[in-house]
């Protein structure tokens, strides 16, 4: 009699699986290569008619995996059944190649076997294994499926009549009943990949569909030894018990792969009654409509007893697992992995967005699992100034994945800008130059289309720069202030990156009043100052370490005069902010990293500043008491000196007569709004009078406060 | 009788003057607004015929200044005469506007007067003054000329016959003789703007041309008082003395401005004989050809004696300078400055080049006059690696004006690159990505067209990465090494900016052997290392401070194993060099600033490293002994820690078993060339055997040397 041949599974991987795997690797697995449970599904085999020849062609026995494969609660699509499996993703292509495939395969086969022997559970019979390597930088995925199937020795044979139409055995009513019973089961539990069909031969009663696990209860009496192949025994008992399975194979001659393990299951558990098995290859997902025929097939299979001397499942020995086969061949017909290259089919903008996130998420794999990236990514940043500092700050923010970056600048791109301002190029300078803020925003979009970047050409009114008395000038100033207020409202962090002292005043006041994060960077020739403005501290609030919030100063807290016009009458070297070219990228990146550290700190805007006396040993801060975020310390001020390649952390206290952040100023602003600001713009002495700085000065008091760094007063530019 | 009216000078500024002034300000004047001597020139007045009306139109009395005006030795063009003047350039537009113009004007007028009175020198009679403000950022120049001319009180009058053709007084031969005599003088000395013409009336002899200073010698007898206006007295003495000047005015009715000061000169010095003056307005630069007429004119001017009670020059009182007038009106007819906007007429690429230099030159104005910018600008820089570090290094170098930047990289631009690598944008990633090195070079040209940037796609062979045995692979490796050697030869400084340890080995060896500056930057997650490789020190050489050269180490000097394959089998987070985004710009800019400081140091490559124990006070290095360049210290290594926002200077000694820079390795490379390198690539133990590191290891010696920072061994990535 002919030996039964089986059609193997063909893996069908939907690209969504790879996207899910990418996410899983980046966010959950990281460096783990532990096995992950996955599910797949398959349907009854389908065939198509060749339009030219009229021949019917069986489609491959697809086992489909997709985005839902990682969802343990996912149910197979209508008409499909589930397979369970294991996915093992390697960290490197070398590890993938070097994986001990025999061990992995045997492990899965053993799991199937153990399930059979120990619990008679059929749900694991179609277990599969897939090993993968995901090259997330190139969107290329390497994978290899295995569908372990036990080898029967000797092999199963089929009678000369071969596979016959199911209708030769069952009436249409029977088949419709089977379909209805399968559908009913599928609607409230997992659809059955394997089942039993019992029919009372004598009474021509209903067919009964039952799980494979009911075999013992439904099975006929044991065969008479030696009478293998004689089916009359069973039928003579009055019932016909057929083993059925959803057959992914549409090839009339060869049943699908799942039959192998069903047969192994039966032989292992019921060796006495399974020398001859009637099999139903169920392929009728729908009841045939119109003149169509039922597609399911039946056949009667027989197997000889195991050859003497070989360990056989027939002996019921759990340890005696039959050998298994089932690594999938690749498209070249070789036993080897397959590759899916998703790059060409992906939207480039989406590729870019994923690539940007990739580098960030990698930080969480090994180095900083506790890093909360979203705090940085979601921070909406307002950059006041789109010059050297503004451009470098924007670039560092983009590196951190920040998605909302807004520039404010009143200038146009000049020929001297591009070599120092890394968002402009030569052509931006032609025809008088593009507006800097808008041009910088456009440039960010060219770098990363996924960014939400905008630019506003806006001159920030300044104290000591009187608003001309014309109504139009006043209206313009009012509109400019309103626009700046709205912009600060809409953002979480405000960077002060202008080239004058007094232009920082208005955003300092508004930022403090609105409780925003304010970061400040200023350049000298070879020194820089990077600082975060202190928050408007309530004297009652405490940080996560239980200590009261520090009252840290702002840019103006060390001043004994109010900011005033320092711009008019500047010589060329003062106007151009002559600096060592390396200074701006260092200061800008430092300001952004300061924001990153601040956002990670549990006290956020109120993160305590490390004391300035911290020893210079890099590990001396290990024992700090609540000063560190997961990214490290959150200094208040950093002063850098390129001549010594040195950075000094400083702490400056809030000053109650400060023209930028004192309560006097903030309350005057909050109650009087633009009127108060206008006085400050127009009257160079207004702020000093308001804060009482003028009296301090007049009374000849020692106005120097207890600050840590005493050179501040000498520096014109800070 | 009609009062004589004079046609004022019109300044004619050639754009070349502004270019020269820009250079002068940037390179010489800097912040000085001291008066600078300048020259101008003017010619005899010219007229043109209106094509439509046929009328003759006198061209303006142009006083021309140009590039040659700052050259004290410059001679006026053929046919022109010189004027001397003073240029005073202000630093700001406000200073320009606020200049005390009366004082400036009077100062010039006084200078003219003093010259007349004290030395009878006529060469200063056409002195002029120009005040300027050069807005070098916008190529806009503001200026205001003054041509001080003394006012005669009472005014000069001209007889009713007015200005007559010179031919009415002189024969053609006379005029030709005057022309010839003027030309002869002009060929060997300064052409005369003013001169005397004496003619013997009785003998009809030759006319004589003489300098104005000869007036006393040639003048007729004093007039009889009261007979002013009667010219017969002079002529009756037998000679006619005429005062002549090159007349920039072609207006027949009104002589040019220079006549005013000639008359003042004569009245001041020779009051007795100059009540009536015969004047020749010389306009015949060429002898008229064909039927053309002589253009010069004559006229007889008279002046009444000064009114009683007024101080008059007639009294010969040196203190009694007549009042003067002469500020030029602007095109709007107002007394006010003019502006020249050169931006529209300049080549944008040239504008960009000048703008880039501007910011640099400004450094020398006030802050660092001793800075030798050319050392930086002319440094040819080879950047090995066009990734995050490479892009940021290139940008900082451009900021310093470096003109030759060459990239080497073997990769293509990936989607994750642009947000962190500031020379790439989204479109560079499409279609598989552009080659990084070439793309980065193109990007530099887009930023600044004047740069000499090139990119080479080249994989640098690495120790522990064996060359495959095929002949083609060997040939490729040989070609790659040869290309790298050639590139290092062609550059002054080599930056090692790759993402693996072992790829730095080959350029370390070649760079050390060729005596190049080698700068190294490497990133961890939140730490960086920036260092300069020590030079191959001769034990005899000493620095400018007299001390022997230090023997500073290279990147590999702290190693106790040779570099080997660290790339294969790296997980994704290792491949992507996961770093805090702000780290690369800080490290890259630091590396460039280290180069800047090094190049300014008199010992250059051998600049001594400051000791690592230097106190953290920024001014503690003032007393260093020869460690500083004009830009400050030149550390050997800098280790940065973002978690503490700290930078530590380190010093590491050269190690005689170093696999990168020891004499053993360098000599093996120099004698065996590629063969030695090939052994290093192929045999992971070769370098350890060569240097003796293997024995050290085997013998169990304590391989740790006296280095300043002992954590190095823990860091895999450095």
Supply B433's token pair.
């990505």
Nearest residue to A400 via CA among A546, A578, A594, A563: A594
Residue B575 has pLDDT above 90, yes or no: no
Using pLDDT thresholds of 50, 70 and 90, give the confidence band for residue A290.
confident
- What pLDDT is recorded for position A539? 63
DSSP B333: S
Using pLDDT thresholds of 50, 70 and 90, give the confidence band for residue B348.
confident
Please give the share of chain B, as a percent, with pLDDT higher than 70. Answer: 87
Residues B592-649: tens digit of each pLDDT: 999 999 999 999 999 999 887 544 444 444 445 578 889 999 999 999 999 999 998 9
- Assess A364–B contact: CB distance below 8 Å, yes or no: no
Q: Beta-carbon neighbour count of residue B107 at 10 Å? A: 14
Question: Per-residue pLDDT averaged across A84-107, rounded?
Answer: 94
- What pLDDT is recorded for position A519? 98
CB-closest option in A578, A592, A631 to B367 = A578
CA–CA dist B343, B183 (Å, integer): 40
- What pLDDT is recorded for position A355? 82
Supply B427's token pair.
């479109």
Supply B117's token pair.
């009175």
Residue B159 has pLDDT above 90, yes or no: no
CB-closest option in A359, A572, A649 to B645 = A649
Strands B56-58 and B47-49: antiparallel
Please state which of the ranges A230-244, A344-358, A636-650, B312-326 shows the lowest mean pLDDT.
A230-244
Residue B47 contacts residue B57 (beta carbons within 8 Å): yes
CA–CA dist B618, B572 (Å, integer): 41
Question: Per-residue pLDDT averaged across B121-125, rounded?
Answer: 90
Q: Has A661 been annotated as catalytic? A: no
- What pLDDT is recorded for position B311? 46
Please spell the DSSP secondary structure of A209-227, one letter per residue. EE-GGGHHHH--PPPPTT-
Residue A513 has pLDDT above 80, yes or no: yes
Using pLDDT thresholds of 50, 70 and 90, give the confidence band for residue B27.
confident
Nearest residue to A567 via CA among A410, A703, A392: A410
Residue of A381, A554, A557, A576 marked catalytic: A576
Residues A317-365: tens digit of each pLDDT: 545 889 999 999 998 889 999 999 887 777 788 888 888 887 788 888 7
Residue of B381, B439, B576, B658 marked catalytic: B576
Residue A5 C-alpha from the chain's centroid = 44
Question: Per-residue pLDDT averaged across A568-585, rounded?
Answer: 77
- What pLDDT is recorded for position B717? 34
- What pLDDT is recorded for position B236? 47
Using pLDDT thresholds of 50, 70 and 90, give the confidence band for residue B540.
low
Using pLDDT thresholds of 50, 70 and 90, give the confidence band for residue A713.
very low
Residue A9 has pLDDT above 90, yes or no: yes
Contacts of B392 in chain A (CB under 8 A): 585
Is the preceding peptide bond at B154 cis, omega within 30 degrees of 0?
Answer: yes
Residue A712 has pLDDT above 60, yes or no: no
- Assess A449–B contact: CB distance below 8 Å, yes or no: yes
Please state which of the ranges A393-397, A705-709, B71-75 shows the lowest mean pLDDT.
A705-709
Mean pLDDT of chain A: 86
CA B531 vs CA A580, B591, B709: distances in Å: 19, 7, 14
Using pLDDT thresholds of 50, 70 and 90, give the confidence band for residue B562.
confident
Which of helix, strand or coil describes residue B219? Answer: coil
Supply A97's token pair.
């190649």
Residue A532 contacts residue A636 (beta carbons within 8 Å): yes
Residue A366 has pLDDT above 80, yes or no: no
- What pLDDT is recorded for position B709? 36
Instruction: Supply angle C-alpha B439, B441, B442, rounded to 5.
Output: 65
- What pLDDT is recorded for position B620? 41
Residue B714 has pLDDT above 90, yes or no: no
- What pLDDT is recorded for position A390? 98
Residue A693 has pLDDT above 90, yes or no: no
- What pLDDT is recorded for position B160? 86
A425–B416 CB contact, under 8 Å = no
B427–A447 CB contact, under 8 Å = no
Residue with tokens 């041509």: B147
Residues B672-684: tens digit of each pLDDT: 999 999 999 999 8
Residues A405-457: tens digit of each pLDDT: 999 999 999 999 999 999 999 999 988 899 999 999 999 999 999 999 999 99
Residues A621-672: tens digit of each pLDDT: 444 557 888 999 999 999 999 999 999 899 998 999 999 999 999 999 999 9
- Assess B567–A contact: CB distance below 8 Å, yes or no: no
- What pLDDT is recorded for position B617? 43
CA–CA dist A19, B70 (Å, integer): 71
Q: Which helix (H) or strand (E) holds B47?
A: strand B47-49
B415–A618 CB contact, under 8 Å = no
Contacts of B387 in chain A (CB under 8 A): none
Residue B122 C-alpha from the chain's centroid = 36
DSSP A472: H
Q: What is the pTM of this model?
A: 0.76
Residue B417 contacts residue B369 (beta carbons within 8 Å): no
B92–A648 CB contact, under 8 Å = no
- What pLDDT is recorded for position A356? 83
CA-based nearest distance B429→chain A, Å: 8
CB-closest option in A366, A526, A592 to B573 = A366
Supply A656's token pair.
């109650």
DSSP B3: B
Using pLDDT thresholds of 50, 70 and 90, give the confidence band for residue B357.
confident
DSSP A31: T
Using pLDDT thresholds of 50, 70 and 90, give the confidence band for residue A1.
confident
Nearest residue to A445 via CA among A423, A418, A420, A415: A423
- What pLDDT is recorded for position B659? 92
Using pLDDT thresholds of 50, 70 and 90, give the confidence band for residue B175.
very high
Q: Which residue has the higher pLDDT, B695 or B194?
A: B194
User: Mutate which of A390, A634, A644 to disrupt the B interface (most B C-beta within 10 Å)?
Assistant: A644
Supply A315's token pair.
């002996």
Residue A233 has pLDDT above 60, yes or no: no
Residue A231 has pLDDT above 70, yes or no: no
Residue B23 contacts residue B15 (beta carbons within 8 Å): no
Q: Which residue has the higher pLDDT, B363 or A95?
A: A95
Alpha-carbon torsion, ordered A252, A258, A260, A265, to 10 deg: -140
B429–A352 CB contact, under 8 Å = yes
Beta bridge mates, A452: A404
The residues, any chain, with a CB within 8 Å of residue B232's CB and separated by 6 or more, are none
Question: Per-residue pLDDT averaged across A44-61, rounded?
Answer: 84
- What pLDDT is recorded for position A573? 62
- Restricting to B residues 378-417, those with a Cβ less than 8 Å away from any Cβ of A are 392, 395-396, 398-401, 414-417
- What pLDDT is recorded for position B715? 33
Residues B232-248: tens digit of each pLDDT: 444 445 567 999 999 99
């Amino acid at each position: 009699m002919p030996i039964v041949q089986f059609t193997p599974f063909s893996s069908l991987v939907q690209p969504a699986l790879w996207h899910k795997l990418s996410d899983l690797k980046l966010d959950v697995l990281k460096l783990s290569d532990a096995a992950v449970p996955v599910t797949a599904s398959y349907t009854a085999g389908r065939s198509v008619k060749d339009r030219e020849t009229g021949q019917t062609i069986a489609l491959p026995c697809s086992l489909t995996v997709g985005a839902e494969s990682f969802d343990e609660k996912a149910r197979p699509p209508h008409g499909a059944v589930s397979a369970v499996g294991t996915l093992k993703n390697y960290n490197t292509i070398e590890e993938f190649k070097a994986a001990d495939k025999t061990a992995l395969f045997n492990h899965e086969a053993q799991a199937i076997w153990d399930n059979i022997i120990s619990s008679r559970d059929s749900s694991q019979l179609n277990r599969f294994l897939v090993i993968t390597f995901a090259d997330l930088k190139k969107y290329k995925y390497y994978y290899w499926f295995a569908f372990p199937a036990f080898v029967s020795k000797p092999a199963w044979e089929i009678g000369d009549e071969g596979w016959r139409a199911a209708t030769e055995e069952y009436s249409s009513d029977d088949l419709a009943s089977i379909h209805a019973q399968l559908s009913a089961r599928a609607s409230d539990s997992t659809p059955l990949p394997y089942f039993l069909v019992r029919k009372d031969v004598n009474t021509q009663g209903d067919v009964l569909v039952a799980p494979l696990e009911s075999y013992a209860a439904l099975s006929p009496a044991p065969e008479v030894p030696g009478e293998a192949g004689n089916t009359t025994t069973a039928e003579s008992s009055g019932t016909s018990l057929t083993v059925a399975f959803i057959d992914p194979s549409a090839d009339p001659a060869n049943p699908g792969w799942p039959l192998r393990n069903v047969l192994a299951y039966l032989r292992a558990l019921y060796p006495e009654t399974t020398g001859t098995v009637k099999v139903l290859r169920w392929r009728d997902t729908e009841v045939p409509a119109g003149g169509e025929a039922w597609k399911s097939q039946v056949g009667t299979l027989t197997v000889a007893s195991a050859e003497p001397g070989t360990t056989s499942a027939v002996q019921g020995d759990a340890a005696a697992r039959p050998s298994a086969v089932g690594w999938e061949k690749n498209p070249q017909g070789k036993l080897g992995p397959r590759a899916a290259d998703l790059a060409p089919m992906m939207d480039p903008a989406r590729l870019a967005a994923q690539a940007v996130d990739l580098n960030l998420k990698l930080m969480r794999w090994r180095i900083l699992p506790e890093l909360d990236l979203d705090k940085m990514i979601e921070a909406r940043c307002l950059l006041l100034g789109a010059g050297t500092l503004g451009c470098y700050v924007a670039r560092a923010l983009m590196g951190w994945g920040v998605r909302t970056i807004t520039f404010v600048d009143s200038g146009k791109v000049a020929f001297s800008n591009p070599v120092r301002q890394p968002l402009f190029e030569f052509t931006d300078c032609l025809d008088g130059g593009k507006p800097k803020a808008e041009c910088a925003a456009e440039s960010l979009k060219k770098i990363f289309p996924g960014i939400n970047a905008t630019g506003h050409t806006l001159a920030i009114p300044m104290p000591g720069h009187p608003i001309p008395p014309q109504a139009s000038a006043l209206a313009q100033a009012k509109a400019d202030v309103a626009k700046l207020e709205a912009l600060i409202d809409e953002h979480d962090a405000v960077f002060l990156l202008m080239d004058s002292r007094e232009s920082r005043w208005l955003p300092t006041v508004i930022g403090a009043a609105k409780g925003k994060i304010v970061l400040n960077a200023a350049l000298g020739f070879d020194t820089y100052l990077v600082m975060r403005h202190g928050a408007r501290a309530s004297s009652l609030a405490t940080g996560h370490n239980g200590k009261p919030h520090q009252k840290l100063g702002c840019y103006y807290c060390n001043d004994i005069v109010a900011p005033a016009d320092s711009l008019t009458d500047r010589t060329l070297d003062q106007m151009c902010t002559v600096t060592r070219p390396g200074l701006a990228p260092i200061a800008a990146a430092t300001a952004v990293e300061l924001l990153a550290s601040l956002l990670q700190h549990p006290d956020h805007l109120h993160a305590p500043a490390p004391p300035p006396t911290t020893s210079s040993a890099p590990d001396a801060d290990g024992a700090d008491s609540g000063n560190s975020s997961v990214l490290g310390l959150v200094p208040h001020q950093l002063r850098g000196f390129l001549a010594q390649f040195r950075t000094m952390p400083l702490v400056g206290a809030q000053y109650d007569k400060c023209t930028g952040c004192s309560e006097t100023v903030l309350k005057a602003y909050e109650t009087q709004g633009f009127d108060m600001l206008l006085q400050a713009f127009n009257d160079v002495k207004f702020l000093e009078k308001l804060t009482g700085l003028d009296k301090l000065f007049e009374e000849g008091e020692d106005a120097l406060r207890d600050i840590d760094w005493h050179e501040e007063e000498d520096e014109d530019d800070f």
